[in-house]
Amino acid sequence: MEGWVKLHRKLLENPIFQNEKLLKVFVWCLLKASHREHAELVGLQKVSLHPGQFVYGRHKAAEELKIKESTLYKYMMWLKNEEILNIQSNNKFSVVTVVNWDVYQIDEPKSNSKNSSKVTTKEQQRNTNKNDKNEKNNNTVLSFSEFWDLYDKKRGDKTKLEKKYDKISEEDRKKIMAHVKAYKLAQPDKQFRKDPATYLNNRGWEDEIIYSHKNQVKQQNQPMDLTGRW
């Protein structure tokens, strides 16, 4: 395959970056995605693909990535649930769409190109507004109520916890948002998660994310049929 894709530095603050296998799967999806509209023949069926889409089969993908099919399924489902990917399937294959592909992968106009002068003021303003909106979203600081709902283990004195949370710096709150998402992926059963007070008092967002073998076995025992879930 030829060409290249863009990676935004904000990826460093995303829970994807904290899991090397998840990061590998995400980057693989970016590299597999089409950069233009075209038709692809799958068996005897012609599939029309748009920019940001690719045909996906779990068995073949697992071979390319050199990871277990069950592990690949878990990470693809996480990316889907986080609305990073959209996956549509029939009984033979799936079509994966990278959400917001046009926002992050669209070609930037060359400043020295004669065609760049053809971009209208209205188009420039629309792009500026879109970039401003993305920047604001990327700089969003997690409020206590958002943390309370995101952590999803409502135990302890909420008033005291909020006072504790209000003393945490904005930089650490950004880290908390990324860490909690990854922590929940590693420990989906809330009864085994730290209580919110323990997490905040011990600066739990600085702890290493450990994906236990028990969780991997639990995931492997779930139905893996693409046609059943996707």
CATH of the domain at 41: 1.10.10.10
Q: Are residues 151 and 82 in the same domain?
A: no
Indicate if 94 and 173 belong to the same structural domain. no
Number of domains in the chain: 2
Q: Are residues 151 and 70 in the same domain?
A: no
User: pLDDT tens digit string along 61-106?
Assistant: 999 999 999 999 999 999 998 889 999 988 788 999 998 887 777 6
**Shared domain check, 88 and 24:** yes
Question: In the predicted model, what is the mean pLDDT of the chain?
Answer: 78
Give bridge partners of residue 87 from the DSSP assignment. Answer: 96
Are both 21 and 97 inside the same structural domain? yes
> 148 and 100, same structural domain?
no
- Please tell me whether residues 90 and 163 are part of one structural domain: no
Model confidence pLDDT, tens digit, residues 130-145: 555 444 444 557 789 8
Nearest CA to 43 out of 55, 53, 34, 51 is that of 55
Identify which has the larger pLDDT, 131 or 49: 49
Q: 201 vs 121, which has greater pLDDT?
A: 201
Task: Please give the pLDDT value at position 127.
Answer: 52
Full domain range(s) for residue 179: 144-211
Q: What is the mean pLDDT of residues 33-54?
A: 88
Clarify whether residues 25 and 75 are in a common domain.
Answer: yes
The answer to whether 101 and 50 have CB atoms below 8 angstroms apart is no
The answer to whether residue 122 sits within a structural domain is no
Query: pLDDT band at 21, cuts 50/70/90?
Result: very high
Cβ contact 176:142 at 8 Å: yes
The size of the chain, in residues, is 230
Whether 119 is in a domain gets the answer no
